[in-house]
Structure 1
Amino acid sequence: MIKLYTDAASKGNPGPTGLGVLVIANHHQYQVTDTLQLADNHHGEFAAARLGFSYLLEHFGPQQTVLFYTDSRVLSDAIGKNYTKHYQEELAALNQLIGQFTTVVTQWIPDRENHGAHHLANQALKTLE
């Protein structure tokens, strides 16, 4: 079982955006960051999730059970309902990745429980300043 935490941090809305991914697998932590030159926070949250699931596919393969944690209600609701009014393209791209795994359980968590991914997103954002 793999735990995946993702987050995005934007300066401006839209603006430069940092993406943070924290993976906990086999008693090890893996940290991944990336940036977007211009995005709003919701697009950033979807991008961070895609980054996380892409990382898992590349490094662990699809035969995994993934517990996915996000502090984005928009993202967790979109995955749960398989619908979003404004982010259809982003959800479709994310679903292509999620669909490759054996099992994915998505859970919304409050900001205070997503410190690792949040810190990574802010670190990535600082590289754009």
Structure 2
Amino acid sequence: MQNERIVTVVLKIYIDASTKGNPGPSGGGFMIIGEGLYVQKSFPFTQKLTNHQAEFSVLSSLLDYLLEENLVEHTITVHTDSKVVAQAIAKKFTKNSAFDSLVEEILIKFALFPLLFLKWIPESQNKGADHLARQGLAKALKL
């Protein structure tokens, strides 16, 4: 029997959203950092969102990207500076019914990832994703 080498890739991901107005034009961004992998994405949202809706939407967009790129089997830690998002996903519940469908959509996607963790971090530790989110907002303002 040959020794098989099991490679575990750990992905650190930072997400953020930016909104002008509440609701208003919004954008999002994420950074993915892993062994031999560095991805930065910024994107506009086509509809007007509240800040919290935009934060949930960035997480949903990130999960779609990870699924499309077949990055499901990695150990993944997603860092967000949104306490609302981190708490709602951890509790699998939100007090604000406006977020129910977003939380449900995200939880369905989360179930497809065996080792995905969501962690709250202070805004000061999320500067890279914040910069990308602001780029996404700039794109949204041009739409």
Shorter-chain-normalised TM-score: which range? Answer: over 0.9
Match of 2:69, SS?
helix
Partner in structure 1 of residue 7 of structure 2: none
Instruction: Give 1:12's aligned residue.
Output: 21
Counterpart of 1:62 in 2: which secondary structure? Answer: coil
Consecutive aligned runs of 4 or more in structure 1 exceeding 4 Å deviation: none
> Partner of 1:92 in structure 2?
104
SS of the residue 1:60 aligns to: coil
Report the CA distance between 1:90 and its aligned residue.
0.4
Provide the alpha-carbon RMSD of the alignment: 1.2
2:34 pairs with 1:47 = no
Tell me, which stretches of 5 or more residues in structure 2 are unaligned? 1-9
SS at 1:112's partner residue? helix
Alpha-carbon contact 1:4-1:52 (below 8 Å) kept: no
What percent of counterpart residues are identical?
A: 35
Question: Normalising by the residue count of structure 1, what TM-score does the alignment of the two structures yield?
Answer: 0.94
- CA deviation after TM superposition for structure 1 residue 56, in Å: 1.2
1:109 aligns with 2:104: no
- The match for 1:26 among 32, 35, 39 is 35
2:54 maps to a residue whose letter is G
> How much does 1:128 deviate?
2.5
Which sections of structure 1, spanning at least 5 residues, go unmatched? none
Shift of 1:70: 0.3
Q: Deviations over 1:14-41 (max 9, x none)?
A: 0000111111122432011221230000
The answer to which of 60-69 and 42-51 deviates more is 60-69
Note if contact 1:67-1:104 (Cα within 8 Å) is conserved in structure 2: yes
Larger radius of gyration between Structure 1 and Structure 2: 2
